[in-house]
Chains A and B, each alone.
Chain A
Amino acid sequence: MTVDASLASESLVLARGGRNVIENLSVRLAPGEITAIVGPNGAGKSSLLLGLAGLLPSAAGRVTLEGAALAALAPRERAKAIGYLPQSPDIAWDVAAEALVALGRLPWRDRGTAHIEAALSALDLRGLRHRPVSRLSGGERARVLLARVLAGTPRWILADEPLAALDLAHQLALIAHLKTCAMAGQGVAVVLHDLAVAMNHADRVLVLKDGCLVAEGPPRDALRPEVIVQTWGVAARWLGAPGRMGLVTGD
């Protein structure tokens, strides 16, 4: 008997505001991989991520975590397994970086000092631990927020557009951190807008349009020029060597 180690959706339907935003979607995330979720605006990327995180109840179908129904799991157990990084949240109180990272330990109800230190080290934040979040730069804040997720030692990391507010250097640094997580065996899913990042850094890509899966697979297959035309209505081709490809648009 094989052990199912995946986070998967089975014929999942998600509804928001009385409208289906994800239609009959079956996907499977594997541990140790970075899965990029891409698609045009309104394709249902963020909704799918919320559904996989167990934060949006399914209208039909289900999400399974390592073979068991995610919805049946107690919220705290779910929170220990799945870390969710929302899109650039506003932070209500001007707390120190370390206190924010420590919030990641809430589901465990422990101090978790070792895990907090590990997360601060992994994201190179030890020098900033006492700095209030209002005095962090955008890149530092993004690192603190990811460190909050890492401090919870989840088996799965689901991040919604973690690169959106970052400049190029910080984008690359954050991607490198996520790769480290995947190499350590964590399953990582990221919603991305930059197809080149998905092409060069993801192990697998899910392409969504109107709540349906248009393509999935290794980036070279899922992000073929035909798929890009069909999904975004933009003619484009890839240039460059594998791992360093660039997307050129236009005929």
Chain B
Amino acid sequence: MTRASLVFAALLALLLPLSLLAGRVWIAPYGDTPANAALILAELRAPRAVLAVVIGAGLGAAGAAMQGYLRNPLADPGLFGIAPMAALGAVASFWAAPLLPPAAAAWSLPAMALAGAGLGMAALALIAGRTTSDAAGGAGGGIALFTLAGLMLASLAGALTALAITLAPNPFALSEIVMWLNGALTDRSWREVWIAAPLTAAGVAVLALAARSLDALTLGEEAARSLGVDPRRLLALLVVGVGLTVGAGVAVAGIIGFVGLVVPHLVRPLTDRLPSSLILPSALAGACLVLAADSVVRILPLVTELRLGIALSLIGAPFFGWLLLRMRRGRL
């Protein structure tokens, strides 16, 4: 285990018990415990904490892999079509749910969000895979076209989501959709954990398979191919890995932005800066960040809980600006 992994694993080990104790009701480890403490821990806080860890780990690992693939420290996995497509699927489920039998309706949101992510993955692989397959005449247009295809997909999904919102069947559905789009972990149960955890674990494992190929990309696309990297295999691993991690996250928690962008930057100075050294520590650091942020929004003394997605964007956007300024000074 590398230094960065150890640091963030230790931090996570510290944060996890703290987040279980924190909330509207403080549960002290010793002395008087409030009524229902066991119930609160087992059915509310534990699944919520585990889900924060799962989603944060997925977003962190996906961000590290995406920045490695695009050779760009400003890449966020949410920008490239998969998360917006998953969100579109989820929003569509608000329309579909009333038409389904109640048993199916309960599962329609995560199922349709995952279907949206899958559709986004397929579209990305189809467009970008076509351009890498002819080796772009050696011109190496593959990654540039991947970026453009991802942005195209993201704006299309965004437009369709906006359309679905404006055509919402009733004001209640409208507020449901808008609330849901700003991701949160409020009132999540073990059911969401069982949906997201296996998919995220599989996604992180797939991204780990791509790690050494991402290292080769440090030298550019042609040098990477000269080192034996198969661009189509790499694209496939990346799309599947990011699709599983980000898709699973959106399916159970809505859109949580900026984690994938910010976390690799926190990790990079502790490593040798190669993408392969970032993926596991970024998963751990992402878990720490989402867990900490979710614990904070839970204990803020507000009438309604601040949505986690909003809170992270509030932190993330200024960080992004600071990053841009730092880049202008050439220190990235």
Q: Name A residues whose Cβ lies closer than 8 Å to a Cβ of B.
A: 15-18, 47, 50, 53, 55-57, 74-80, 82-86, 89-96, 99-100, 103-104, 106-107, 109, 134, 145, 148, 152
Contact = CB atoms under 8 A, between A and B. Distances in A.
Contacts, number: 93
Of listed B134, B217, B222, B330, residue having the most chain A CB within 10 A: B222
A166 B219 CA distance: 19
Closest 8 A/B residue pairs (Cβ):
A79-B228, A84-B226, A92-B71, A76-B228, A56-B138, A16-B137, A89-B220, A107-B228
A92 B228 contact: no
B218 A93 contact: yes
Contacts of B216: 103, 106
Nearest to B212: A106
A47 B138 contact: yes
B135 A91 contact: no
Contacts of B228: 74-80, 106-107
Contacts of B273: 93-95, 99
Contacts of A15: 137
Contact of A75 (B134, B219, B225, B272): B225
A100 B230 contact: no
A91 B218 contact: yes
Contacts of B217: 92
A86 B218 contact: no
Contact of A90 (B134, B212, B220, B330): B220
Given A55-B225, A57-B135, A93-B274, A75 B220 contact: no
A43 to B, nearest CB: 16
A79 B226 contact: yes
Contacts of A152: 227
Contacts of A80: 228
B181 to A, nearest CB: 33
Given A93-B218, A103-B216, A50 B275 contact: no
A107 B218 contact: no
B230 A75 contact: yes
A90 B212 CA distance: 19
B223 interface: yes
Contacts of B225: 55, 75
16 contacts: A55-B222, A56-B138, A79-B226, A79-B227, A85-B223, A86-B220, A86-B222, A91-B219, A92-B218, A94-B332, A95-B274, A100-B218, A103-B215, A103-B218, A103-B227, A104-B227
B135 A89 contact: no
A16 B138 contact: yes
B272 A96 contact: yes
B273 to A, nearest CB: 5
A187 to B, nearest CB: 15
A84 B138 CA distance: 14
A18 B138 CA distance: 12
Contacts of A96: 272
Contacts of A106: 212, 215-216, 227-229
Nearest to A96: B272
A163 B304 CA distance: 64
A51 to B, nearest CB: 8
A50 B225 CA distance: 11
Contacts of B275: 93
Contacts of B135: 55-57
A77 B71 CA distance: 26
B214 to A, nearest CB: 10
A141 B206 CA distance: 33
Contacts of A104: 227
A21 B12 CA distance: 56
A79 B229 CA distance: 9
Given A93-B274, A95-B273, A75 B223 contact: no
A79 B330 CA distance: 33
A189 B208 CA distance: 36
A113 B138 CA distance: 32
B229 A17 contact: no
Contacts of A78: 228
A97 to B, nearest CB: 11
B237 to A, nearest CB: 15
Contacts of A56: 135, 137-138
B167 interface: no
A50 B219 contact: no
Contacts of A148: 219
Contact of A89 (B138, B215, B223): B223
Contact of B272 (A89, A91, A95, A107): A95
A86 B216 CA distance: 13
A17 B137 contact: yes
Given A17-B139, A106-B216, A152-B227, 6 more contacts: A53-B226, A79-B227, A92-B219, A94-B273, A103-B216, A148-B219
A92 B225 CA distance: 16
Nearest to A92: B71
A92 B328 CA distance: 16
A152 B219 CA distance: 14
Nearest to A105: B227
Interface in B185-243: 212, 215-220, 222-223, 225-230
B219 A107 contact: no
Nearest to B72: A92
